[in-house]
Amino acid sequence: MNNIAVQAIDLCRQFGHFMAVDHINFEVYQGEIFGFLGANGAGKTTTIRMLTGLLMPTAGEGRVNGFNISNDVEKIKRTIGYMSQKFSLYQDLTVEENIEFYGGIYGLSPQQIHDRTDWVLDKLNLQAQRRTLVSDIPLGWKQKLALGTAVLHNPPILFLDEPTSGVDPVSRREFWMLINELARNNTTVFVTTHYMDEAEYCNRLSIMHSGKIIALDSPTNLKQTYKKTSIEDVFVSLVDK
């Protein structure tokens, strides 16, 4: 049986009278690319913030790497990588300085920081920009760098919240090449997106609408179940209902 890396059991988050996440259930397996597909406001980011310990659930349970999201927040933060929607790097530092800074936060040794810096820059084709200020590089490169810092400490579980939003097609392709490589090396990747083509890259995919999960299966099975030729057609047919 596959090891469960992330689990949600009747997970809820309410803001006043608004139920942003409404009793959702799922399991994510080790080494899997698990996609959360939905329009803006569907509840994807709220879910990922609960799973990463940034937001407490109103009700229900969640576990990440065996740790409870309500009681073991600090343990969870030490064992995950997280890339948020909002750009989180320092504009007045160079590419290399940002990597060194985050390496220090993750507790890496100077040698580890040196080795992982070269690995990140090589993988993301940023060697030529290593001494360039982050403020001076394009958005696509900034997002690639943010992804690089999220995996700097080689976390077993990686959370990506719409990582390619606003990124050019070439950079998006490079993102997914790295994501697939990480998964092949047994990293669990939990990714939210509203790009239908990216949803096709996931091993399994959940479709979220109005705080609920309305479908969950592999992209191939979803298309077969709903007799559609693309995930976009599946999504539109479900949301229209």
Q: Concatenate the DSSP letters of all residues of 134-176 into one string.
A: GGGS-HHHHHHHHHHHHTTT--SEEEEESTTTT--HHHHHHHH
Q: Is residue 22 part of a domain?
A: no
Closest to 55 in 3D by CA, of 25, 7, 12, 17? 12
pLDDT value of position 171: 79
pLDDT value of position 87: 66
pLDDT of 129 > 50? The answer is yes
Mean pLDDT of all residues in 187-209: 93
Burial of 196 (0-12, 13-18, 19+ CB in 10 A): middle
Q: Is residue 186 part of a domain?
A: yes
pLDDT value of position 212: 96
Give the pLDDT confidence of 76-94 residue by residue, as tens digits: 988 999 998 776 788 999 9
Per the listing, tokens 């070269």 go with: 118
Give the pLDDT confidence of 15-42 residue by residue, as tens digits: 999 999 999 999 999 999 999 998 888 9
Pairing of β 33-37 and β 59-64: unpaired
123 vs 97: which has the higher pLDDT = 97
pLDDT value of position 174: 81
Q: Is residue 108 part of a domain?
A: yes
Q: Which helix (H) or strand (E) holds 122?
A: helix 110-123
pLDDT value of position 59: 96
Q: What share of the chain is helix, strand, coil (3-state, %, to 5)?
A: 40, 25, 35
pLDDT value of position 37: 93
Q: Is residue 149 part of a domain?
A: yes
pLDDT value of position 89: 86
231 vs 195: which has the higher pLDDT = 231
CATH code of the domain containing 193: 3.40.50.300
Mean pLDDT of all residues in 210-217: 96
Per the listing, tokens 């006043």 go with: 16
Closest to 44 in 3D by CA, of 163, 217, 219? 163
Q: Is residue 57 part of a domain?
A: no
Burial of 225 (0-12, 13-18, 19+ CB in 10 A): exposed
1-20 in b/e form (b: 16+ CB < 10 A) is: eeebbbbbeebbbeeeeebb
pLDDT value of position 169: 83
How many domains are there within the chain?
Answer: 1
Give the pLDDT confidence of 134-173 residue by residue, as tens digits: 999 988 888 888 989 999 999 999 999 988 887 788 878 8
Mean pLDDT of all residues in 224-229: 95
Q: Is residue 182 part of a domain?
A: yes
Q: Is the pTM of this model over 0.95?
A: no
Residue 80 domain boundaries? 32-49+73-240
Q: What is the mean pLDDT of the chain?
A: 92
Pairing of β 67-68 and β 59-64: antiparallel
Residues contacting 194, CB < 8 A, separation 6+: 37, 38, 39, 40, 162, 165
Q: Is residue 190 part of a domain?
A: yes
Mean pLDDT of all residues in 221-234: 95
Q: Is residue 98 part of a domain?
A: yes
pLDDT of 1 > 80? The answer is no
